[in-house]
Each structure stands twice: as structure tokens, then as C-alpha cells.
């Protein structure tokens, strides 16, 4: 059981984790931290956290588990701030969508990646943000990926794994590099496509009519374009190489489809669609978690 949990960044993910653990009775005390005092007060009012400190260094004092739910671009600054105040047995983890940049941030802040730092990433979320969007069952049945390093203490990994299991998640492990490649394909690329499509249509002269007659497929596909632009800017910069590689691969395949349409090659068009349908049906993607 966690005696004192500190969550730095009490938004959708951090707030939902706090709600889930309080519901499970797995924390005695939950301390929140972040730059927006009004949001932190609201988190207390909603019963998400016990109390808060705007200063992350104060918030982590006495904590046995610290969860960093801050934008990737802020990770190094937060780690530098809390480093002098961490207890010797404190476990630190994060929820960032790109793990390579988090590991580099930890190395820069501490001089080496601490043995009790466990990089992690819950594959869950919605296009909404803020503590008022948090819900206690966000992680129920969803996957959480941990990417411990060779020097990571086993008991620290066990503690983080148990925390996420108590929140209802299914926990797996993989390497930092593999995580970033997989997420570039399954999460980051779809967000790039949704943002780009909506931006393209919004800049057309007929945009009012286009959006007025948007069908369900358009709404489903572009839902994630309502996600936080600053957060996704940071993800793009943090996982740049893997995302660019996936964009290049997709552009090549899209060019092939364009050529088939231009050539009126119905057989090739249908074959592409049939492969896509079979793949989606085989993996039952609709039952998978959203991010």
C-alpha cells in the first residue's frame, strides 16, 4: 500500500490515477502539485487529492511514490526541481508517451538514471484534459507499459506495477526503444493524420459546408484532433525520428493508393481495403484502449 503518493500534474491522467487509487483504498494520502493553484484547489474540492503544494520540491517530501504526469517538454525541469528532496526509498515513475526523451531527461537531471526511476506509459486517455475530465475507471482493462532499464531496481518496478494493477490496468514491459517505435505507429501517427486532415479541411474555402455535412466516420476519425496541441507538440519533438519514419511509410502507401485510384485500378483498390478490413477485424481494435 502507498502511504504518501505525490502526483505532479493533476490533469486527466494524473487525476484519474488518483481517483482510481483512492477508490481502491490503496493510498493513505495523495499530494498534488502543479503550476495552476486554482486547478489544484479544484482537485481538492473534487476529492481527487488530499492536499497540494505548487512547488514540486515540497510536494515530494516524504512521498514513497511520485508520479510525473507533466508534458514531456517539462520533464527535465521537474526532475531537476525534485531531485534534492527525494527520499532514499522513493519510487519515481511517469506517464509520458515517449520514453526515450524521459530517460534522457532523467539522465540530465540526476547525472544518471536513478535506480528507483521506472519509466511508464498508460495507454489510455480521451481528447479531453484537466482534472474535471478525470474519472476513476479510465485505466480499467487498459494497458500500461513499463520500460525499466537494466539498472532499475526490481522492487521499484514491482511497486509501480502493483500501483497500476490496483488502478485496474494490465501491465506489460518492453524496452524504451521498442515502446517508442510501437507508439509512433499506433498512437502518434493517427494523431498526426487527424490533426493534418482537420487543418487541411479548415483551410479550404468551403470549410463551413464541409464540417456541416461531416458524417460519423469523419467525427470518429478526427475526434483526437481535439487533443491538447501543446502536449502533442511535445510528443512530436520527443519521438521525432520514429514519428517521421512512420509518416514516410504511410505517405508511400498513400501514394500507391492514389496511383491505383488515378489508374482506375479497382482490383488494387479493393485489395488494399480488404487487407485493411481483415487486419482490423482480426485484432478487434474497437475493444482496445484509446489514447
3-state SS class at 281: helix
- Please give the full DSSP string across 84-108, using - where no structure is assigned: GG--TT-EEEE--S-HHHHHHHHHH
> What pLDDT is stored for residue 207 in this prediction?
67
> What pLDDT is stored for residue 284 in this prediction?
67
Cell digits of residue 97: 508517451
CB neighbour list of residue 121: distance below 8 Å, 6 or more residues apart: 94, 95, 96, 97, 99, 144, 145, 147, 179, 183
Stated pTM of the model: 0.87
Which residues lie across from 212 on neighbouring strands?
Answer: none
Q: For residue 258, what are the CA distances in angstroms to 42, 210, 266?
A: 50, 22, 12
Burial zone of 19 (CB within 10 Å; 0-12 exposed, 13-18 middle, 19+ buried): buried
Q: Are 94 and 119 in contact (CB under 8 A)?
A: yes
> What pLDDT is stored for residue 289 in this prediction?
45
> What pLDDT is stored for residue 288 in this prediction?
45
Task: For 207, list phi and psi in degrees, rounded to 5.
Answer: -55, -40
- Cell 524504451 belongs to 176
Rg (CA), the chain: 21
- Cell 501491465 belongs to 171
CA distance 161 to 65: 12
CA distance 97 to 91: 19
3-state SS class at 67: strand
Per-residue pLDDT of the chain (291 residues; tens, 9 = 90+): 899 999 999 999 999 999 999 999 999 999 999 999 999 999 999 999 999 999 999 999 999 999 999 999 999 999 999 999 999 999 999 999 999 999 999 999 999 999 999 999 999 877 788 899 999 999 999 999 999 999 999 999 999 999 999 999 999 999 999 999 999 999 999 999 999 999 998 888 766 777 777 777 888 888 899 988 998 999 999 999 999 999 999 999 999 999 999 999 999 999 999 999 999 898 765 544 445
Going along the chain from its start, the domains and CATH numbers come out as 2-174 (3.40.50.720), 179-287 (1.10.3660.10)
Amino acid at each position: 500500500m502507498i502511504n504518501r503518493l505525490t502526483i505532479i500534474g493533476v490533469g486527466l491522467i494524473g487525476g484519474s490515477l488518483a481517483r482510481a487509487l483512492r477508490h481502491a483504498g490503496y493510498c493513505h494520502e495523495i499530494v498534488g502539485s502543479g503550476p495552476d493553484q486554482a486547478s489544484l484547489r479544484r482537485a481538492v474540492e473534487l476529492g481527487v487529492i488530499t492536499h497540494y503544494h505548487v512547488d514540486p520540491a515540497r510536494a515530494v517530501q516524504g512521498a514513497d511514490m511520485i508520479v510525473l504526469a507533466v508534458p514531456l517538454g517539462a520533464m527535465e525541469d521537474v526532475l531537476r526541481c525534485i531531485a534534492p528532496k527525494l527520499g532514499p526509498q522513493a519510487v519515481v515513475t511517469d506517464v509520458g508517451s515517449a520514453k526515450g526523451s524521459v530517460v534522457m531527461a532523467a539522465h540530465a537531471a540526476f547525472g544518471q538514471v536513478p535506480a528507483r526511476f521506472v519509466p511508464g506509459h498508460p495507454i489510455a486517455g480521451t481528447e479531453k484534459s484537466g482534472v474535471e475530465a478525470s474519472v476513476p475507471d479510465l485505466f480499467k482493462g487498459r494497458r500500461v507499459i513499463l520500460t525499466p532499464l537494466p539498472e532499475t531496481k526490481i522492487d521499484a518496478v514491482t511497486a509501480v506495477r502493483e500501483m497500476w494493477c490496483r488502478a485496474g490496468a494490465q501491465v506489460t514491459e518492453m524496452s524504451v526503444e521498442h515502446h517508442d517505435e510501437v507508439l509512433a505507429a499506433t498512437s502518434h501517427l493517427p494523431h498526426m493524420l487527424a490533426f493534418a486532415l482537420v487543418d487541411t479541411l479548415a483551410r479550404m474555402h468551403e470549410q463551413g459546408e464541409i464540417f456541416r455535412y461531416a458524417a460519423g466516420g469523419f467525427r470518429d476519425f478526427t475526434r483526437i484532433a481535439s487533443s491538447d496541441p501543446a502536449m502533442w507538440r511535445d510528443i512530436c519533438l520527443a519521438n521525432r525520428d520514429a514519428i517521421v519514419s512512420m509518416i514516410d511509410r504511410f505517405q508511400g502507401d498513400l501514394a500507391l493508393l492514389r496511383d491505383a485510384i488515378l489508374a482506375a485500378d479497382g482490383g488494387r483498390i479493393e485489395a488494399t481495403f480488404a487487407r485493411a478490413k481483415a487486419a482490423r477485424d482480426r485484432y478487434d481494435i474497437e475493444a482496445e484502449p484509446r489514447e
